[in-house]
Amino acid sequence: MPATTPTALVIVFDGIEEIEALTPVDILRRAEIKVTVASVNGLPTVTGRNQITFAADTSITRVAEDSFDLVILPGGPGVLELLENQAVSHILVAQDKAQKELAAICAAPKVLANHGILNSRKATSHSSVRDALPRPSDDPVVIDSHITTSQGLGTAVDFSLTLVKKLKGEALAQKIAESIHHSSRIF
């Protein structure tokens, strides 16, 4: 675990599954992890799949060369936008090469798979993209080295608590789980 305040980047886009984006932001901030929300569209806001609009802190191009302890890809029908985005590709490949934490939920593990990041790694995802994974799992949350994947909206809290556990330890993750009255399956 880093001695300094850990940092996380959450990449957001139009058509995102709102809960899969905002749950990690909320839970990581409860853990006092510095979270940056960056939009792929370059605008200050994104609109999710359920027409909920929320603000980003910055654009993906402004943070493409920055270093983060963790990069998170939420899912949703707009995730296909990430497949062709050069800034996102650069961030993912650099994060993987540095063996730094990468996390993806719902359909977003397909983006990791398309970049070769999941080669030989066990991962899970939404059932609609499970065939894109080289070593698919039916587990709700899967950790393989520095890669964490999760199935979707219903697993967003456990996914987020797993990320807290990886960056700040199990005790804090358990404390947060208790404070939000969540009976986590990760402990």
The domain limits of the chain are 7-178
Residue 185 pLDDT class (50, 70, 90 cuts): confident
- At how many degrees (to 10) do helices 156-168 and 18-30 cross? 30
Which DSSP string corresponds to 105-163? Answer: ETTTHHHHHHTTTTTT-EE---GGGGGG-SEE--SSEEEETTEEEE-SGGGHHHHHHHH
- For the segment 131-148, the average pLDDT, to the nearest whole number, is 98
What is the rounded CA–CA span in Å between residue 165 and residue 163? 5
Percent of the chain with pLDDT over 70: 98
Q: Which CATH superfamily is domain 7-178 in?
A: Class I glutamine amidotransferase (GATase) domain (3.40.50.880)
Q: Is 75:123 a contact under the CB 8 Å cutoff?
A: no
Percent of the chain with pLDDT over 90: 93
Q: Is 46:13 a contact under the CB 8 Å cutoff?
A: yes
The single residue of 40, 91, 106, 167 carrying the catalytic annotation is 106
Q: Does 106 participate in catalysis according to the annotation?
A: yes
